[in-house]
Amino acid sequence: MDRSLLLLIVLTAASLGFAEEPAPVPAAPEKASELTELTIEQLVNLKVTSVQKRPESLRETAAAISVITSDEIVASGATTVPALLRRAPGVHVAQLNSSQWALGIRGFTNSIARSQLAVMDGRSLYTPLFAGTYWDVQNPFLEDVDRIEVVRGPGGTLWGANAVNGIVNIITKSASDTQGGVVVLGGGNQERGFGRARYGGRLGSNNAYRVYGSYFSRAAEYHADGDDYDDWHMYQGGFRTDWRDTLAGTLTVQGDIYSARAGRRTTFATFTFPYVQTLEQDADLSGGNLRVHWSRPLDEGRELTIQTYYDRTNRHEPNFAEDRDTVDFDGQYRMRLAGRHELVFGIGYRLSDGRTTAVPTIAFVPPDQTDDLFSAFAEDTVAAGRFRLTVGTKVERNDYSDFEIQPSGRLLFNASPSHAFWAAVTRPVRTPTRLDRDLVLNAALTPGTPVFVRLLGDSSFETERSLVYEAGYRGQFSSFLSADIAAFYNSYPNLESFEPGAPFPEDGRLIVPLRAANGTEGHVSGVEVGSDVRPLEGWLLRAAYSYLDMQLNAKPDSNDAGSSAAEGSSPRHQVYVSSTARVSGRVTLNALYRWVAKLPTQQVPAYSELDVRVGWRTLAHVELALAGQNLLHARHVEFGTGSASGGVQIRRSIYADASFRW
C-alpha cells in the first residue's frame, strides 16, 4: 500500500464515529485520554514552570517551549522518554539501537546529548563526566508523568551551565493525584514483554503516597550480519510521599532504584596485534536516587523552597566503567516588591564524586575525581501595561573554569488577550568536563598496523560560550486554531575542536595526537512553527515544522579537519503531524507521522515514519490497546553509518497491552 494512502486512511479514520455517539462509559478513576477534550484556549494556557521556575501560562511565556501532556503520553503508545521527545518541534531524536539514542535540540545531535539539560522533578539527570544524559536509564512510570516541558533554547540563568541549547523537564504527578491502583501488562515483537504496577493511598487527610514497580524486556534491532546483540531489559521501583500542611507547607520525599542489562557491541583499540578488539557483552547499569523537597508559601506572595537529593549511578560497559555519587542542595526564595516586581533568587551546591576504570587504551587522568559546583542566581520580572520584562543572571563557580556568569533578558508583549510576541537575548555557556580536560583515548588508525590516533583532553580547554537571540509569536486565532512561531540565531565563537600534533614513536607504536581545543566557530539559526487544530469536537491535530541552518568552520589558526561534521548530523528540515481522536465513547486513536531530512555526515537518507495507537475502553476500569511504531518500513536507519555500510536498523514494532485501574 502506498505510504501516503496509509497515512490518509489513519488520519481519516479518526473522524469516523462522530456522527453517532454511543452511550457513555462510566468514568474510571483515571481517564485514558482527556487531550481530546481540551479546548484550544486551554492548550495555550497550560501552566509551565521550566522558564521561570514558577507556574505561568504557556501563552505568557517569553521562550520557545513545548508541553507533552500526561494524556498525550498515554495516548501516544511511546514506551521511552526519547520517543516522546519526537513530539517537540526543533528536537531531533534518532535511535541508535535497542537502548541508545542520539538527541539534539536546535542542532548538535549526538549520542551523548551534550549542551542539553535534562531534569526530572528538579533532579538533574546529566553527568558531570561529559555534561550529557544517559537516556538508557531514564525510565519513569509513564502513567505518573504529569507533563514533559521541552524548552528549545538556553536556560542557564536559572538552571545553570550546560542548559545551552535546550531543557527537557520531566515533571511527575503528586501522590494525591495518583490514588488507587494501575497495572499494565503487554508485549509484542520488539517490546517482548513488559509490566508495571502502581498503588497510591493516604496516610491521614493531608498525607498521600504511592509505590510502583516496573519491568521490560526489549528485543535487539536489525543487524545486517544477523548478530542480534543489543537486547535490553530493566527492573525499576520507587515511591513518593507528599505531606501538606497549611502552616508547615508541603514536604515531598521520593526515590527510585533500578537495575538494567543492555547489549553492546564495542570496538576499541589494543596495544597488541591486531590492535583492535570487538566485544559483545552486556552493559550492567544500576543506580538509585532519593529526593527531598520542601516549600512553604509565606505572606504577601513570598515563597521559600528547599530541595536536596542524592543520586548514585553505576555503569559497567565492556570497555569502560564509572561509579558516581552526587549530592545536591538548592534553596530558592520568591517575593513581590512594589507591586510590579517579582524577584526570585537562590543558591546551590553540588558535590559529585566519580571513579573510573577502563581498558588500557582508554583512561581519565586521574581516574577518580570529586567535582564541586557552587551557584547563585537572581531574576526580576517587572510588568508595565502590556509589557513584561525579565532580567537576571546566574553565577557559578566550578573546578574547571572557576567563575561563570550567564545573564539573560526576556521581553513579552501582549498585543491582545489572544496574541503575544516575545524576544530574548541570552549568554549561556558549556563548562569544561573531564571529557575535555582529562581524557586519553587511543584509536587504531588501521587494524593490523601499530599506528594510533590519540585523543587528549587539555587543561587549557576553555568554557564554550554562546550568544543567543530569539523571537517568537504565540496566538489563538479562533476556538479551533492556534499557532506558535519561534526564530533564533546562535553565535558560537569557541566550540570544541581537536588539533593535530606532530606524530611521535612510543614503545614500538606511532602516535598521532589530537588535542582538545576551542578552534571551531560558527552560528546556528532556524525557525520552528507549530499549530494546534481542532477540526471537530473530540479530535485534535498538532503539526510542526522546523528549519535548521548550521554553519561551523575552523578558526584561521585551527587545523581541525572535522569542524563541520556536526552540520550533517542534524536534519535541516523536520515535519510532524499528530492526530488524537475520541472515535467513540470507548475508542481513542492516536497517530504520529514524522518526516526527517537526510543526515549527510551519518549517511542517513531522508525518511518518513508513522506511529499509531488504538485504545479501547472495554469496561470502566479496563482498557485494551494495540500500538505500532515505525509502521512505514520493516526497518530503517536513523543514525550511524547508514544502511549501505551495514549500520543498525530500527525495526517496525507492534505490541498490545491491557491496563487495569481501580
User: pTM to 2 decimals?
Assistant: 0.92
For residue 585, pLDDT beyond 90: no
- Beta-strand runs (E) in 30-112: 47-48, 56-57, 65-69, 91-95, 101-105
pLDDT per residue over 344-355, tens digit each?
999 999 999 999
Furthest-apart CA atoms within the chain: distance in Å: 81
CB 9 within 8 A of CB 636: no
- Residue 34: pLDDT band by 50, 70, 90 thresholds? low
| The predicted structure's pLDDT at residue 152 | 95
Instruction: Enter the C-alpha cell of residue 518.
Output: 576551542
In order of start, what are the domains of the chain with their CATH numbers?
31-503+510-553+573-581+597-661 (2.40.170.20)
- How far out from the chain centre does Cα 496 lie? 22
**pLDDT tens per residue across span 57-93:** 888 899 999 999 999 999 999 999 999 999 999 999 9
- Beta-bridged to residue 14, according to DSSP, are none
Neighbours of 360 (CB within 10 A): 11
Q: pLDDT tens digits for 400-421? A: 999 999 999 999 999 999 999 9
Distance CA 633, CA 549 (A): 28
Q: How many residues does the chain have?
A: 662
**Rounded mean pLDDT, 470-488:** 95
Q: In the block, which residue shows the cell 510588568?
A: 383
What letter represents residue 183's amino acid? V
CB-CB contact of 397 with 363 (8 Å) = no
More confident residue, 339 or 168: 168
Evaluate whether 653 touches 77 at the Cβ level (below 8 Å). Answer: no
Backbone angles phi and psi of 318, in degrees to 5:
-60, -30
Q: Are 408 and 422 spatial neighbours (Cβ–Cβ below 8 Å)?
A: no
* Residue 537 CA: distances (Å) to CA of 27, 39, 245, 544: 19, 9, 40, 21
Mention every residue, 6+ apart, whose C-beta is less than 8 A from residue 165.
104, 105, 106, 107, 108, 115, 116, 152, 153, 154, 490
Average pLDDT for the chain: 90
CB 67 within 8 A of CB 84: no
Distance separating alpha carbons of residues 548 and 237, to the nearest angstrom: 40
Assign 431 a pLDDT band (cuts: 50, 70, 90): very high
Band (127; pLDDT cuts 50, 70, 90) = confident
DSSP state of 480: T
Taking Cα atoms as reference points, which of 514, 504, 516, 501 lies closest to residue 451? Answer: 504
Q: Which residue bears the cell 545536591?
A: 328
Burial 373-401 (b: 16+ CB within 10 A, else e): bebebebebeeeeeebebbbbbebebbbb
Cell numbers placing 246: 497549611
Q: How far is CA 161 from the centre of its chain?
A: 16
Amino acid (1-letter code) at residue 50:
S
Residues 6 or more apart whose CB falls under 8 angstroms from that of 254 comprise 121, 172, 238, 239, 240, 241, 290, 291
Phi and psi torsions of 508, nearest 5°: 80, 5
**For residue 237, what pLDDT is reported?**
98
How wide is the angle at C-alpha 526 spanned by C-alphas 525 and 531, nearest 5°? 160
Joined grid coordinates for residue 146 = 504529569
> What's the pLDDT tens digit per position in 140-175?
999 999 999 999 999 877 888 788 999 999 999 999
